[in-house]
Structure 1
Amino acid sequence: MAGVSDESLAAAKERLAAVLPNVTLRLAEELFGVLGTLDSSAGLRRSMTDPSRPGKDKEALARRLFSGKVSADAESVVASLAASRWAKPRDIGDALETLGATVAVAVAERDAGGLGGLEGLENDLFTFNQVVGGSHDLQRALVEPQASDEAKGALALKLVPRAGEAAKVLIQQAVSNPRGLKPTALVERFVELVAERQERWIAYVTVSRPFSQQQLDRLQAGLDGLYGRNLKITVDIDRQLVGGVRVKVGDEVIDASVITRLGELRRQLAG
C-alpha cells in the first residue's frame, strides 16, 4: 500500500484498537469471510473503492450487503473501510486481511496473558512453516487447485495438532485464501504482525554502564507500573550515552540521557 491507502489502514487500526479488548476469534473469521467475498468479485471491489462515489454511499452499500450476515462489529469494520479512500481496489482487501489477522493476534495475546500468548502464537506459525518448508509434497498439496479449501485447511491443521485456536484461524486463512502468495509466505506476514504486537511488551533499555540487579529491579517495577503490564526488559550498553537511561517501548521513547538533556539545554539557549 502507499499514500492514501496507508492512511486509511492506519485509521482503521485505530478504530479496531478500541474494540480489541472484547472481541473473539469470530470477528477475525468474519473479516476473512468478507475478504473472500470481495476477492471473488472485481465489480464489488470497484464499487466499494470507487473514488468518484461519496464515502457515505459506499458505506451504505457495505451495510446493505453484510447486515445480518456478520456481527455488528464486523459490519462496522467493513462499512468504515468502504467509506475510506483507497489507491487501488485490491487495497481494501489487503486492509481486511491485516485487520482480521490483527484480531487473531490480539485474542492470542489477551487469552494467554500477554507476551506468553504472543510467543506461543509465533511458535505455532513458525512450526507450520518449518513442516511445510521441509516437504515439497506438502507444498504442492496446499496449493493444489483441485483440492477444496476445507481439505487443504484440514491437512494444514494436521501438521500442527497442538496449535492454539488463533494460530489455527491464521493458518487456515493462509491455505484457503493466500491471495497470490504461497501459504507459507502469508504465514510469514502474520508472524510480522505478531512481532509488531510483541514490541508492546518489550522494553529496550540503553544505559552507559551496566545496572546492578537492584537497579534493574527498580527499573522493572517502575516500567511495569507505568505501562500497566509485565514488560520484558533487554539492556544494551552504550558508552557514548555518558549517563542516564533511554527506554523504548513500542513506538514510545523515554529518553533521560545526559546527552539528550544537554542537547535540549543548548536548543533552549540558542532559541
Structure 2
Amino acid sequence: MAAVTSESFASLQSDLAETLRTADLKVADELFAGLDVVDGSASLRRSLTDPAREPADRAAVVRRLFGDKVSETTVTVLEAVASRRWSKDRDLADAVESLAVTAVSAVAERDGLEGLTELESQLLGFRRTVADSHELQHALTDGQAPAEAKQKLAVRLSPEASSEARLLIDRAVAVPRGLRPAALLEQFAEQVAARQQRWIAQVTVAKNLDASYLEKLSAGLNRYFGRELRLDVAVDPSVVGGIRVEVGDEVVDSTVASRLNSLNRNITS
C-alpha cells in the first residue's frame, strides 16, 4: 500500500471511529451499495480521486450523488473517503469496503468480544466449507450464475449465521470484487480479528488434532509470534505429517511434504 493511501486510511479510521462505532447494519449495507456505484463507474472514481480537485469539491460530488438515497451517517463516511487523497482509484473503493466491514464489526462488538469472536468464527466456518468443496467453489465462482442464486446457496450452507455474518457472507459470494469468495471472507475475518487485536493463524495438518494438542499448539504459536492468535485449522492429508502455519506473510512449514520437496530440489539441482 502506497504511503499516500496508508496515511489516508489511517486518518479515516481515527476520524470515523466514533461514527462507525454507533452505526448499524443499514449503514454497512449502504456503504456496500455505494461501493458498487463507485466500482461501476470509472469516471466517478477519477472524479473522486482527482488530486487537482479540492477535497470539498470531491465531497460535494458524493453528497449530490448519494445525499437523498442513503442515511446521513453513510453520506458522512463517503464524504470523508472522497476528501482524502489516494494513490489509485481502486484504493478509494477498497477503503469504502473496509469501512463497511468495520461498521459490521462494531455491531457485533456490542455483544462484547464474544460477538466479535462469533462473527469471526462464522466467517471462517463458511470459508472452510467452501474451500473444502470443489463443487461449491465452482458454484460460487461461476460467472454465468446470478448473484441471487449464489446468495441462496450461501443461506443454505449457513442457515444459523447471524445478521452480521449474513451480510458479509452474502457480500462475498455476490460481489467478490475480483477475488474468490473464500479469499474475500478470509480478508473480512482478518479485519474482525484485528479489531480484537488478534491475528488469524492458518494451520494445515494431515489429520484432526485433539483439544489438548490444539491448546498446546495455540500457546506455542502465541509465544512464537508474540501475540494472541486465533487458529483456523484445515485438514489436508497431502501434507503427510507435521504442520504448516501461515500468519500474514510469514509461513512456518514443517510438513513431511515440504521436506520431501526440498530434498527433491536438492537432488535434482
| TM-based fold match above 0.5 | yes
Q: Which amino acid aligns with 1:19?
A: T
**The one of 155, 163, 166 aligned to 1:165:** 163
CA distance in 1, matches of 2:177, 2:101: 14
How far is 1:180 from its partner?
0.9
CA distance in 1, matches of 2:80, 2:176: 24
Q: Which amino acid aligns with 2:54?
A: P
How far is 1:21 from its partner?
3.5
How far is 1:6 from its partner?
1.0
1:1-271 pair list within 5 angstroms: 1-110=1-110, 112=111, 114-199=112-197
Count of aligned pairs between the two proteins: 205
Task: State the Cα RMSD in Å.
Answer: 2.1
Deviations 1:197-245 (A, max 9, x none): 1128xxxxxxxxxxxxxxxxxxxxxxxxxxxxxxxxx9xxx9xxxxxxx
8 Å contact from structure 2 (residues 139, 150) kept in 1: yes
CA distance in 2, matches of 1:16, 1:173: 22
Q: Which amino acid aligns with 2:162?
A: G
Paired-residue identity, %: 48
- Secondary structure, aligned partner of 2:119: helix
Tell me the equivalent position of 1:244: none
Deviations 1:164-203 (A, max 9, x none): 1111111111111111110100000011111111128xxx
Q: Please report the TM-score for the alignment, with normalisation by the length of structure 2.
A: 0.72
8 Å contact from structure 2 (residues 21, 103) kept in 1: no
CA distance in 2, matches of 1:56, 1:131: 45
Q: Which amino acid aligns with 2:177?
A: R
CA distance in 1, matches of 2:102, 2:156: 24
Tell me the equivalent position of 2:260: none
How far is 1:87 from its partner?
0.5
CA distance in 2, matches of 1:100, 1:21: 11
How far is 1:20 from its partner?
3.0
Q: Which amino acid aligns with 1:4?
A: V
How far is 1:51 from its partner?
1.0
CA distance in 2, matches of 1:7, 1:86: 9
CA distance in 2, matches of 1:118, 1:68: 32
Deviations 1:124-183 (A, max 9, x none): 011101111111111111111122222211211211111111111111111111111101
Q: Which amino acid aligns with 2:173?
A: V
CA distance in 2, matches of 1:41, 1:90: 11
Greater gyration radius: 1
Does 128-137 or 90-99 show the bigger shift?
128-137
Q: Which amino acid aligns with 1:162?
A: E
Structure 2: segments with no counterpart, 5+ residues: 199-218, 229-269
How far is 1:83 from its partner?
1.1
8 Å contact from structure 2 (residues 22, 106) kept in 1: no
Tell me the equivalent position of 2:237: none
Q: Please report the TM-score for the alignment, with normalisation by the length of structure 1.
A: 0.72
Structure 1: segments with no counterpart, 5+ residues: 201-233, 239-247, 250-271
8 Å contact from structure 2 (residues 119, 165) kept in 1: yes
How far is 1:15 from its partner?
2.2
CA distance in 2, matches of 1:83, 1:152: 35
Deviations 1:5-55 (A, max 9, x none): 111111111122112332111111111110011111111111110111111
Tell me the equivalent position of 2:202: none
CA distance in 1, matches of 2:173, 2:16: 25
CA distance in 1, matches of 2:171, 2:21: 22
